[in-house]
Amino acid sequence: MADYTKFIAKDLPYAYDALAPVMSEETLRFHHDKHYAGYVNKLNELIEGTPYEGKTVGEIILSSEGTLFNQAAQAWNHEFFFDQFSPQPASAPTGRLAEALVRDFGSVEEFVQTMNRSAAGLFGSGWTWLVEDKEGKLALVNESNAGNPLCRGLRPLMCLDVWEHAYYIDYRNRRPDAVAAWWKFIDWKVVEKRYEAK
């Protein structure tokens, strides 16, 4: 008998209706319970009886490709995405993160606008990421499909999911409106904690 524990989809850290109407209850029930949980279940199926059993999702991302990479990365990406929202968010960055955003983007407002443009301009399905590079500089990177910047040696700090399933129920084809609205519930406390966690 394998003694490893299967991955379990993490509960949302808030109620399904807590971010409405910016992100509706219906969107979160589909996005979390169907899409995200689906990736986790498929990941468990794929690793059963393989040398990947017992590895962390992060380790699997860095050592796999194809279908397994896609399921593992989508599991990782979604947990990271859902965790950064809160119905009572810290509404602005402070401290070292705020200083770094100003240093590398000109201002926090300019950073937000640039990330929104980046997300709006990503062709097809994917993720827009705020990352820290090896030199400590903050940057934005777009990744197609399940792409995760860990694979490029970059440290993810926050992300925008621009797959249609993330916004189509609430915003139909208006992806720019969706990502612009989501900032209302971005909890900068969470992003700062990630930035400081070295």
List interacting residues with Mn ion (CB under 5 A).
161, 163, 166
Residue 197 Cβ vs Mn ion, minimum distance, rounded to whole Å: 24
- Residue number, 70 or 195, with CB nearest to Mn ion: 70
Residue 162 Cβ vs Mn ion, minimum distance, rounded to whole Å: 9
Residue 164 Cβ vs Mn ion, minimum distance, rounded to whole Å: 9
User: Smallest Cα–Cα separation from 4: which of 66, 73, 59, 55?
Assistant: 55
- What is the C-alpha separation between 24 and 17, in angstroms, rounded? 6
Question: If 0-12 CB within 10 Å is exposed, 13-18 middle and 19+ buried, where does residue 101 land?
Answer: buried
Residue 175 Cβ vs Mn ion, minimum distance, rounded to whole Å: 13
- Residue number, 47 or 160, with CB nearest to Mn ion: 160
Cα-based angle 178, 28, 71 (whole degrees, multiple of 5): 95
Is the Cβ–Cβ distance between 162 and 121 less than 8 Å? no
User: Smallest Cα–Cα separation from 85: which of 169, 9, 14, 167?
Assistant: 14
Looking at beta carbons, which residue is closest to Mn ion?
161
**Structure-token match 């903050």, residue found:** 138
- What is the C-alpha separation between 55 and 51, in angstroms, rounded? 8
Residue 161 Cβ vs Mn ion, minimum distance, rounded to whole Å: 4
- Residue number, 40 or 100, with CB nearest to Mn ion: 40
Tokens of 29: 């029930």
- Residue number, 108 or 150, with CB nearest to Mn ion: 150
